[in-house]
Amino acid sequence: MIYDSHFISILAAWVISIVLFATLIIYLAKHPHKRTMPLKTIFVLMFLGGTAMYCAFRYRELIQAVNSQSKSHYLEWTNSENAPLFYIPYVIVRSVIDVGLMFYGRGDNSTFYSMPEAKNPAAVFLFWLIQLIAFYTAASALLIRFGNDLLRWIRIKTSNVSNVDLIFGINSDSLALGRNIAGANHNMIIYVDSVSEERYEASIRDLGGVVYLSKDALKATPSFLREIHIKPGKTTFTLYALSTGYDKNMQYARSASESLKELGILPEQTKLVLLGTEEWKGMYFYSSADHYGYGSVESFYDFDFSARLLIHEYPLCNAINFDENGLAKDDMTVLIVGFGRLGHEVLRKVVASGQFEGSNFHVAIYDPNFENRAGFFMSQYSAMFKNYKITFEPREGRCVEMFQFIEENAATLKYIVICLDNRDTARDIAVQMIDRLNTLGYSRNVYTCDSKGVRCYSQHTEECESHWLYDSDLICSGELDRYAMELNHRYVGGKDAKEDWKQCAYFDRMSSRASVDYLIPLIRKIKADKGSLTQEQRENLAKSEHLRWCAFHYTSGFDAMGKDEFVERINSYLEEIRENGKSRIRITKDIDTRKHVCLVDWDELDEISDLENSLTGGKRDYKELDRANIDMIIELINDDEEK
């Protein structure tokens, strides 16, 4: 009976410890970022329990040896008259050794069974439970250290996820993105690359992700996608192609698309975020009636996205004052330091967003090497340089001449952007500018912009305000395009805003974005509301909108179309109508030569409208289009605030 009860006690300890071990392994596999605490807790508990248990055993063994006439060879020292001084150190040292062996799976069973407690089934159960849990805890720690492949397999197989986020490319930027999307409901984060540094893999484990370096993963094969639970109709799959090799991103997106098609994954289950290509190229990956692709596509260059993030977070209209009628009270001088690719994009965004009725506009650019950097850019956007006051100084951002420029233009210098790759240098220049302007009696923010994001330095705060591309929800959620998507939807009049946006041409997307990026902060700045908007406010906003519209076209490579050419296009349009009943000619815009007839002053728009109407018999009013755009944006803001 005693044998049976002992056997049942040991068996129960084995079963409980194995169940605990399996549960722990599954938990650690599914929550790798929470590995440390449970293991530490169990380890401490088992260490304390084992120490108490073995201390009791060794002390009792020692007392028995002292009282016994026959001592084991290693307890003969107890005959010495100084032996009592060593009783406690002996017990402690022996117990620590025993506990270490216990975690190794070599606990001293014989000592326990020589004790009277060994006859008690409960004591037997407790003894074996502590021994086994300690051993499995050590095994778990070794498995975490050396068994990542097994843990990854366990996590994938036991996960019940509805969203899989696959990040191609392991680097500091993709890790920042992973931290941003980690913790979303039922999502699994998977990183794929050809090589990976240990520090990156440790960070990925901390955020709950898994790493694949296999050939199948690098080719996004169907078998790999099946392995990570991509199934028809069940999983939402998002691919973030964020490798530093832009061509690799394109190839990986293609390979994944082909595998998704082979697996029968519906396009509406998929989304692509593609780094390193213009948006119009990224639109190739969209699904259409005759082409399999992703249900949603976001493609961008990091410097282009940084420039837009700058304008989104810090609109130029917030840098100047307006009267109660929406008329600008200040002139706008912008200073840009650095004119590489990022500086080019910042200039385009600043020009397109810095035009206000009542304000004069000037951009000064400082770059010692601009002539060797800006050849194509100045040729491509020559109309922009012809129509706006943009001056260049071939000097660095800390030169004497630049600070003289700051002193001479401090009153109108409203917006300062530093576009340098070296973040420390950019910060030093920003702090120096703020100090100098403060001495002159002006409080100004200075923005530093690079391929990672935007920082705002101010004299009022010691710490800068930062907005990073890969830490921002903008790159993940499409939040930056929310208003542009809705504006396009109202223009098109379709049934679904997302579907309308998907079908929207690249240039029309850019136009919608430019409009909302400019008008929404401006309308909020002057507190215009549909119910309280005066006729004068509406007219001044419409004039500012026309200035913005012209600037957007100039910064997109357009130039003004002559009236003779306009008349010629109208006649060609009417001739096609007579012959075919319809025409594909847009009479105001020639997309091939990038010319538009409405690139004129506000007061000349009536002449354009009258000329067109006299030849076509229509009722076009180009001024009213700008006014209607103001009404539409105000309506959009009001509708959004009421939700």
Give the CATH number for residue 441: 3.40.50
Q: Is 137 a domain residue?
A: yes
Spatial distance between the Cα atoms of 581 and 306, rounded to a whole number of angstroms:
46
Q: Nearest Cα to 53, choosing from 13, 4, 109, 3? A: 109
Q: Considering 272, 300, 328, which residue would you say is the last residue of a domain?
A: 300
259 shares a domain with 193 = yes
Q: Is 472 a domain residue?
A: yes
483 shares a domain with 469 = no
Q: What is the mean pLDDT of the chain?
A: 83
109 shares a domain with 27 = yes
CA angle at residue 419 from 415 to 422, to 5 degrees? Answer: 135
487 shares a domain with 469 = no
338 shares a domain with 316 = yes
Residue type, 74: Y
Q: Nearest Cα to 337, choosing from 452, 410, 456, 419? A: 419
Q: Is 240 a domain residue?
A: yes
**What is the domain count for the chain?**
4
- Domain containing 200 equals 160-300
Helix (H, G, I), strand (E, B) or coil at 167: strand
Q: Is 254 a domain residue?
A: yes
**Quick check: 278 and 301 in contact, CB under 8 A?**
yes
336 shares a domain with 470 = yes
Task: Give percent of the chain with pLDDT exceeding 90.
Answer: 46
483 shares a domain with 457 = no
Tokens of 371: 């002539």
Q: Is 422 a domain residue?
A: yes
507 shares a domain with 471 = no
Spatial distance between the Cα atoms of 58 and 74, rounded to a whole number of angstroms:
13
354 shares a domain with 466 = yes
- Give residue-wise pLDDT tens across range 8-25: 766 776 677 677 767 766
Q: Nearest Cα to 550, choosing from 513, 592, 600? A: 600
358 shares a domain with 284 = no
Poorest-pLDDT segment among 70-84, 444-458, 492-506, 569-583: 70-84
111 shares a domain with 8 = yes
Q: Nearest Cα to 471, choosing from 166, 167, 204, 181? A: 181
Q: Is 194 a domain residue?
A: yes
Q: Considering 461, 476, 491, which residue would you say is the last residue of a domain?
A: 476
Dihedral sign, Cα of residue 207, residue 209, residue 215, residue 218: negative
Helix (H, G, I), strand (E, B) or coil at 361: strand
Quick one: pLDDT at residue 73?
Answer: 47
- Give residue-wise pLDDT tens across range 225-260: 988 888 888 788 999 999 988 889 999 999 999 999
3-state secondary structure 82-143: CHHHHHHHHHHHHHHHHHHHHHHCCCCHHHHHCCHHHHCHHHHHHHHHHHHHHHHHHHHHHH
- DSSP code string of 442-489: ----EEEEETTEEEEE-TT-SSPEEEETTTSTHHHH-GGGHHHHHHHH
Q: Considering 476, 507, 542, which residue would you say is the last residue of a domain?
A: 476
Q: pTM (2 decimals)?
A: 0.74
Query: 255: which residues sit within 8 A by CB, 6+ positions away?
Result: 219, 220, 221
**Quick check: 558 and 596 in contact, CB under 8 A?**
yes
- DSSP code string of 202-217: HHHHHTT-EEE-SHHH
342 shares a domain with 295 = no
Find the distance separating the first CA and the last CA of the chain, reported in whole Å.
74
Q: Is 550 a domain residue?
A: yes
Q: Is 39 a domain residue?
A: yes
- DSSP code string of 139-160: HHHHHHHH-HHHHHHHHHHH--
CA torsion 27→32→37→38, rounded to 10°? 20
- Give residue-wise pLDDT tens across range 433-487: 999 999 999 999 999 999 889 999 997 666 789 998 886 566 665 666 788 888 8
φ, ψ (nearest 5 deg) of residue 453: 155, -155
